[in-house]
Chain A
Amino acid sequence: MYEFVTGPLAWIAFGIFIIGMTVKVISVIRLASKKDKVVFNHWSWGWSFRSVYRWLIPFGSRSMREKPVLTIVFFVFHVCLLAVPIFLLGHNILWDERWGITWWSFSETSADYLTLLLMAAAIVLILRRIVLPEVRIVTTAYDYLLLAIAVAPFVTGYFAYHQWFDYKTVLIIHILCGEIMLIAIPFTKLSHMILFFFTRAHIGSEMGERRGAKTW
């Protein structure tokens, strides 16, 4: 089972993720050039870049500055979500064994704390969906499912690292959760991972190049 989930299934998951996202990006650009010509007549790389950049740095936009707590939680969540799996020592060893590639990795303790931090951020995001009326009213079951898909690999990974329950089973569940997330990205709202750059670049050009207004 372990051989299967880290072998063929891993290839399938990464394949669907990479091909799925490529197809998604190409189809968005093709559809835009067919039905959204207005996007291109005021396209500006300068405004696009600044619009993306300002929203990638903490407190880079007015919207973020007005909600400081939420901004910190969002950044902790997203940074940990990307950094932990890529720089985890265990993952690096696995890649080294399989493909002979290595790079810098976190110490095991810091990865442990970052995972805790991510789970804490996720709890805040769930609580805010329940507590705040303006977020509750737009929240659907789908939003909770997405959070579950994104957080499950970290919860199971935490269990596996601390060897709670049966290590082998937990590890396989952990790998499956990670693969589910990779496969889900191109087909769900998680595709904002890439599409974020497109929509932000568009609004930056739309407001900036067309009327000289900042979108941050």
Chain B
Amino acid sequence: MPEPAIDTDFIRERLAFFKGARFKTWLDICAHCGYCADSCFFYTAHDKDPKYMPAYKIMQTLGKLYKKNGNVTREELKGIADIAYGDCTACRRCSLYCPFGIEPALMIAAVRGMCCSQGLAPPALMEAAKNHLEFGNQMAITTEDMVETCVWMEEENEEEMPGMKIPVDKEGCDTLYVLNAREVKYYPQDIAEAAMIFHAAGENWTFPSMGWDMTNLGMFAGHAKIMAHAAKLCYDAAERLGVKRIFTSE
């Protein structure tokens, strides 16, 4: 089956959308001075291979898209996606090293959105990101399994810390605790350890049955819908349970 053509109209629309005061000024004034190079661990880890320096990565991705006004072939967009997903973690360290405080990470995020819209996000990342929509967390853990894990952890630590509870969906608490899905799936003792600290501190806290995964693979993939969905689940839980603040692990 031939691969679908690139929706250049959509990419053009995105390019226009992102051309606000920040992107425009950043692209207008970058002096190509090279201060950003040493801030990038992709660059230093590849024996200072210049093709990993941040400004160059932007020229090869967003710069190229603006120059061609979105008229790129699938092959070209694949090359752009390889840089946007593979050669940058969007850690924003280069912004701290730039004399102008330009933010390549935000530009990479914009490029990822365009690549993702054309089906060029890394397949494994997209697969996990879709779990956010179906299960409310990236690791496809059901609410049942999650609640069971909490009960198990309560029992496991009964002797060490009597009276310690992991209250699920308790209304009117001060603190809503949310975490990385990996903790529920692989490191349940992490939940217990956090619960011990809350217990010892006498904190009035709760753990939501839905919206407890604070990771956001939609954001990494550049998929706006999943990104919004995952973030909203967490805020919905906070509103539903009437808490004062959200606490995140990691």
Contact = CB atoms under 8 A, between A and B. Distances in A.
Interface in A57-86: 62-63, 66-67, 70, 74
Nearest to A33: B21
B34 interface: yes
B85 to A, nearest CB: 21
Contacts, number: 108
A32 B22 contact: yes
B22 A135 contact: no
Contacts of A51: 101
A63 B99 contact: yes
Interface size class of A (residues with CB under 8 A): 35 or more
B43 interface: yes
A39 B32 CA distance: 24
A189 B21 contact: no
B29 A196 contact: yes
Contact of B21 (A31, A67, A74, A196): A31
Interface residues of B, number: 35
Nearest to A190: B29
Interface string B14-35: 0000011110111011111111
* Majority secondary structure, B binding face: helix
Contacts of A135: 32-34, 37
A32 B33 contact: no
A122 B15 CA distance: 35
Interface string A168-206: 000000000000000000000101100110111011101
Contacts of A101: none
A206 B100 CA distance: 13
Nearest to A137: B50
B237 interface: no
B99 A55 contact: yes
A45 B54 CA distance: 28
Contact of A195 (B25, B95, B96): B25
14 contacts: A28-B21, A29-B21, A32-B21, A35-B20, A36-B20, A63-B39, A67-B38, A135-B32, A135-B34, A138-B53, A192-B100, A199-B102, A202-B101, A203-B101
Given A34-B20, A195-B29, A203-B95, 10 more contacts: A32-B22, A36-B21, A39-B22, A136-B50, A138-B32, A143-B32, A195-B100, A199-B25, A202-B101, A203-B98
Interface of B: 19-22, 24-26, 28-35, 37-39, 43, 48, 50-51, 53, 55-56, 59, 95-103
Interface of A: 28-29, 31-32, 34-36, 39, 51, 55, 62-63, 66-67, 70, 74, 128, 132-140, 143, 189, 191-192, 195-196, 198-200, 202-204, 206-207, 213-215
